[in-house]
A = this chain, B = another copy of it.
């Protein structure tokens, strides 16, 4: 026997019970987004590499599987994230003047594993608002993310807010090469005061003090007040703090059980995000269940620099929040081809029942369904009886 059944690392089949659950979640999420006016799009899995990586930074490049197109000889990538594709569709294909709301649901592929226990083939659901720069569209996206997570069974949710403009404000006018910036962002994310101290030692005083102050600016809403005292009064920083406060007030009012917290030192994805960024967690999940934020620059390469805010999540991870149920009750039937039998079966299926044939010479005893009734012929009539 060969080992042909072995799958690559961090790649897995989804078997019936979980697939059934993911399908139900998928429909509910698309419907919830649709009821807010988000329109479904299905971008391709394969694109020219430069389109997939437009304005997205180094991380997405490393995560992207690359291959050569036999038809053109050009380099293609398998999408590792659907957001740049949604931005391309908004900018180039729809090209509307008003607000566009798009959602999508499909696989993405990661060349490397993104975190412990994560799949290299997440089933990504996401939603994006294009063409509106105000905080109302940030709130719409966060509210939708919280709603779909609640319906998917996320308990005791918390949202962690940050803002890419704080870093931009602190470093405004400072000449810093990209590698040095990357190191600073990494030290900030790890709250590594020693490394950060030496990395910022040569910077102008307001930038240096501000970056060091970020290390302690995490926690509840009091963080914003402290930040106003500790950070320089740059327009970008003030705008960020005002908007974080505006969002936190509304999130707390609309979602009474939600814990709102801030981590102003978290600049992950700084090359990508241009405003408020968020991650939503739930009890029992070490990793964030949904991530999103504002990324107004992503559409630029497609010829249209529209305001944009969105979020995405992995339906496979989300389906782990609740136990996989059974595929549901079903009716066992013999196989037959007399018209009365076929009519009886058709009527039951049209009414939404699952009717499974026992083919001649077999028994459907192991087919994953739990049979609670069977179709039998009694006194010339096809009737259901419990089993």
Contacts and interface: CB of A to CB of B under 8 A. Distances in A.
Q: Which 3 A-B pairs have the closest CB atoms?
A: A37-B356, A14-B42, A16-B39
Given A70-B111, A364-B98, A121 B45 contact: yes
Q: Determine the main DSSP class of A at the interface with B.
A: loop
Instruction: Give the interface residue-count category, chain A.
Output: 35 or more
A87 to B, nearest CB: 10
25 contacts: A4-B51, A5-B93, A8-B48, A8-B71, A8-B76, A9-B71, A10-B71, A13-B42, A14-B43, A15-B89, A16-B41, A35-B352, A35-B353, A37-B357, A45-B121, A70-B111, A71-B113, A96-B367, A97-B366, A98-B366, A98-B367, A99-B364, A100-B366, A106-B107, A134-B361
B16 A51 contact: no
Given A36-B356, A134-B361, 16 more contacts: A1-B303, A2-B302, A4-B48, A4-B54, A5-B88, A11-B47, A14-B43, A19-B42, A34-B327, A36-B355, A42-B123, A46-B121, A98-B365, A99-B362, A107-B107, A250-B337
Interface in A100-120: 100-102, 106-107, 109, 111-113, 120
A55 to B, nearest CB: 10
A185 to B, nearest CB: 24
B44 A5 contact: no
Interface in A290-335: 301-303, 327, 330, 335
A272 interface: no
B45 A107 contact: yes
Given A337-B250, A360-B136, A100 B367 contact: yes
Interface string A355-386: 11101111111111100000000000000000
A51 B5 contact: yes
B45 A8 contact: no
A22 B51 CA distance: 25
Contacts of A4: 48, 50-51, 54, 88, 301-302
A295 B48 CA distance: 36
Contact of A37 (B15, B254, B330): B330
Contacts of A302: 2, 4-5
A250 B35 CA distance: 44
Interface in A20-69: 20, 22-23, 27, 30, 34-37, 39-48, 50-51, 54, 65-67, 69
A37 B367 contact: yes
A34 B98 contact: no
A356 B144 CA distance: 13
Contact of A132 (B19, B112, B353, B362): B362
A41 B54 contact: no
Contacts of A353: 35
A342 B78 contact: no
A275 interface: no
Contacts of A98: 362-367
A260 interface: no
A91 interface: yes
A35 B43 CA distance: 30
A51 B30 CA distance: 33
A78 B78 contact: yes
B367 A109 contact: no
A44 B99 contact: no
A121 B357 CA distance: 34
A92 interface: yes
A327 B357 contact: no
A172 interface: no
